[in-house]
Structure 1
Amino acid sequence: MAKLSPLQRVKKEHGSKATLAAKVLAKLNKPEGEDDDTFANRVQTMSNAKLLRLFDAYARLEAKHGTREALVDALVAARFPSGNAPYHAKLSTFSVPKLLDLARQDAVA
């Protein structure tokens, strides 16, 4: 069986792009200095592939680590067993996909 295209996956798993965009929008943090309408429009006009990647990343985060803060704490503990506040602050600014990539590299379960 052939691999589904992003559009086919969106329709099969979420029904429509608008539904998927709404799910992703609910999970994302709005950047400072950007109003709600502009941010929502930016998310709604993302490609299907990017929306699917973001949705999958947040699903992996919730399944493996629970919350973003728990993942950041686990990453800091893996590299610095006694803690490191500046590293924790820096990791807190990273996107969820980047944090998941760091967790994969550091073998954080």
Structure 2
Amino acid sequence: MSFDPTDGSKQWTRTIDGVPIGPMTVAPDLSIGVVPFERPQRDDPVLELVAFSVASGETEWTAPHRASVRTTLPAVFDDCVYASGYTEDETPILRSFAAEDGALI
């Protein structure tokens, strides 16, 4: 849900299947917000980074992202999203994604 910072009126509401597993980060230019999500699936949960338009709430892109509640929140700087997480064997890593389309840099 998004609220207008000047008067608190609701701007938009967006339902996303899954549970956020960390805090949200908003780009300094207010173009996108990024939050890690756990989505329901039959076997293992799908963990991914979800980037959405701050103006509309529409999903801009998603990227696979193994994270936990202990993982620090993503950061957005210039044209990149930086996110810490884990490999399949639980090795801690740092990844960089293009802010525009989520491509792994």
For normalisation by structure 2, the TM-score amounts to 0.28
For normalisation by structure 1, the TM-score amounts to 0.27
For the pair shown, which has the larger CA radius of gyration, 1 or 2?
1
User: Quick check: which one's strand share is greater?
Assistant: 2
User: Quick check: which one's helix share is greater?
Assistant: 1
